[in-house]
Each structure stands twice: as structure tokens, then as C-alpha cells.
Amino acid sequence: MTQTPSKYDSSEILISPSILAADFANLTSELRSIESADLIHVDVMDGHFVPNLTIGPPVIKAIKKIATRPLDVHLMIESPETYLEHYIDAGADILGVHVEACPHLHGTLGEIRKIGTEKNRVVRSCAVLNPATPAESLEYALDEADQILVMTVNPGFGGQSFIEAMLPKIEKIRGWIESRGLDIDLEVDGGVTQDNIALAASAGANLFVAGTAIFAKDDRKLAIEDLRAAARKADR
């Protein structure tokens, strides 16, 4: 039932609902309600790297059993390199590590791909930037990244406001992807709504995480379609 991530066309608009905003007591029906999305965004927080605690491998394993979309796992934890295999075994199809938590980013991204290959899986590596971290901090590691996530809030909590000052960073990274012909999805996460998704899409993002903007709505399918339509309408 589960799918491995295909090689996406980076011009494709992809929506990744963040289940942080879902009702955790009813995860099965919550996951059913977002089956029209492209991915499922799973936020892992350790209470150290960010001031909040969420879920770990056992819950991800349970989600994986019923998920019909690939899992886009966002690790907001210290020393992520220690836990890569745990999250890949739990079912991550995309595994994101924060640049600020990785002294050996290039190696850690490569390790994500390698562990996947060793297990006969395709696991996409993702480098994540906090708002305060410049794009240049990951430029040297672009060849090991399948995805780059630009945080548009300070990570830790859902329901915060989109920081528009991140748009030039998105533009810069999109410029690198295009000028170097890289196969990298550019993701934004935090405060994405129907009103600002076009700004991020115009700046060059093609993969959009949304928690509150989807789960606070009764009709999740419509919320996903509205986000997709607004992003597609953007000047890209």
C-alpha cells in the first residue's frame, strides 16, 4: 500500500500535510482525510533542538502501516546522524536533518541515501535550514541533497506566522538548482496558507508543508486542492 517516492519533476507542485496539526487520537481517519496529498509530513522533536516533544520511530512505524503516501520525516533533533537508521527502518521515505544539528552535513546526507540503498529502498535526503541559517551553509553539500527545506517559522510549533523574509533565501536556492541542473525539491514549512503559498511558489518552492491550513478545515481534500491551485497560479 505504501509508495516509495518517485523522482519528482521539480516543477511539480507537491503538498505535504503536517500531521502535527492532526488529531493524534484519530490518526487513521486523519490520514485517510489527506490521501489526495502528495506526501505526509511527520515532525519529530526531541525537546532539545526545539522546545517541544512529539513522536519517534514507534509511532512512525504505525503510521507507515496505514499511510498511502510517502513519509516526509522532518527531524528536529540533536545528533540526527545517530538515529538515521531508526527512522529509515520506521518507514521514512524522505529524511530531513537540520543543518544546524549536523557538523558533517555532506556526510550525513550521503549516509541517508546509503542506508536506503543498503536496504533496497529509495530514501531521499533532505537538508533543513532554520530561518537564521544562511543558504550558503549547505551550498557545498548540494550534490548529496535530494530535497532542501527552508523553514518559514522557527521550528517547534505549528500555527505560527510565515516569515516573508525567507523569500530571498528560497530564490537563491532555486537559482542554484536551475543553474546547476540539480534534481532537488525545494520545500517550505511553517505558516503556509492559501494566502501566502503563491509567494513561496513564485520564489521557487515546489513542495509545501501545511499543518493548520489543512487540518483546521473540515474538508481536507478541498483545503489541499485550494493550496495546490493557489501555488499553480503563482508566477513561476
* Residues annotated catalytic, as ranges: 43, 189
Contacts with Zn ion by CB under 5 A: the residue count is 3
Minimum distance, C-beta of residue 132 to Zn ion, in the bound complex (Å): 16
Q: How far apart are CA 13 and CA 185, in angstroms?
A: 10
Cell numbers given for 59:
509511532
Is 146 a binder of Zn ion (CB under 5 A)?
Answer: no
Minimum distance, C-beta of residue 209 to ligand DX5, in the bound complex (Å): 5
* Residue 211 contact, options ligand DX5, Zn ion, none, Cβ 5-8 Å cut-off depending on partner type: ligand DX5
Minimum distance, C-beta of residue 149 to Zn ion, in the bound complex (Å): 7
Please give the helix or strand (H or E) that residue 43 lies within, else none.
strand 40-45
Member of 74, 124, 174, 228 binding Zn ion (CB under 5 A): 74
Member of 30, 146, 187, 189 binding Zn ion (CB under 5 A): 189
Going from the C-alpha of 209 to that of each of 74, 113, 179, 190, the distances in angstroms are: 11, 22, 25, 7
Q: How far apart are CA 126 and CA 123, in angstroms?
A: 10
77 sits in the region (left: phi over 0; alpha: psi -120 to 50; else beta) called: beta
Nearer to ligand DX5, 1 or 30 (CB): 30
Member of 38, 43, 111, 144 binding Zn ion (CB under 5 A): 43
The residues, ordered by sequence, that sit 6+ positions from 182 with a Cβ below 8 Å of its Cβ are 142, 143, 176
Minimum distance, C-beta of residue 181 to ligand DX5, in the bound complex (Å): 29
The answer to whether 184 touches 146, Cβ cutoff 8 Å, is yes
Going from the C-alpha of 205 to that of each of 24, 90, 226, the distances in angstroms are: 29, 28, 17
Nearer to ligand DX5, 184 or 209 (CB): 209
Is 220 a binder of Zn ion (CB under 5 A)?
Answer: no
Minimum distance, C-beta of residue 189 to Zn ion, in the bound complex (Å): 4
* Residue 156 contact, options Zn ion, ligand DX5, none, Cβ 5-8 Å cut-off depending on partner type: ligand DX5
Contact residues toward ligand DX5 (CB under 6 A) are: 18, 20-21, 41, 43, 74, 153, 155-160, 189-192, 209-213
Q: How far apart are CA 230 and CA 197, in angstroms?
A: 7
Q: How far apart are CA 74 and CA 60, in angstroms?
A: 12
Nearer to ligand DX5, 1 or 132 (CB): 132
